[in-house]
Amino acid sequence: MSENWINVCTSSDLVDNSGICALVNDEQIALFKICQGEEQFIYAVSNWDPIGKANVLYRGLVGSIMDEHFVASPLYKQRFKLSSGECVDDDSVKITVYPARITDQQVQLQIVS
């Protein structure tokens, strides 16, 4: 697997406990930052809501179920796990997740093509 990490935006563009959206190679990617106590988590998932069929996931609310972080679609409220992309409320759908990290104030994504 090639190590092609791409810079997407700076870490100050992220919003605590919420999402923003980046356009990477015409692909819409939702980025979330979750703060829990001292810890911080960065997640990147596809912005496309496969159930609501619109590019809206970054505008969803984030939360946890049994310590798993999720985003709830703003359209019909289905919850998607941020680490795996699985939908908690509907087994038949899944969203793409991308490896994400912060290096030198840069938010980086790994897009495997």
Q: Which residues would be at the binding site for other proteins (CB under 8 A)? A: 8-9, 13, 15-18, 20-24, 26, 28, 31, 34-36, 52-56, 59-67, 69-70, 72, 74-75, 77, 79
Judged by beta carbon, residue 1 or residue 30, the one nearer other proteins is 30
The CB-of-20 to other proteins minimum distance in angstroms stands at 5
The CB-of-30 to other proteins minimum distance in angstroms stands at 11
Q: 23 has which bridge partners?
A: 28
Contact 78, 72 (CB under 8 A): yes
Judged by beta carbon, residue 1 or residue 25, the one nearer other proteins is 25
Q: 42 has which bridge partners?
A: 33
**Beta-sheet strand order (sheet of 106-110):** 5-10, 106-110, 100-103
* Backbone CA torsion sign across 55, 112, 85, 61: negative
The CB-of-110 to other proteins minimum distance in angstroms stands at 16
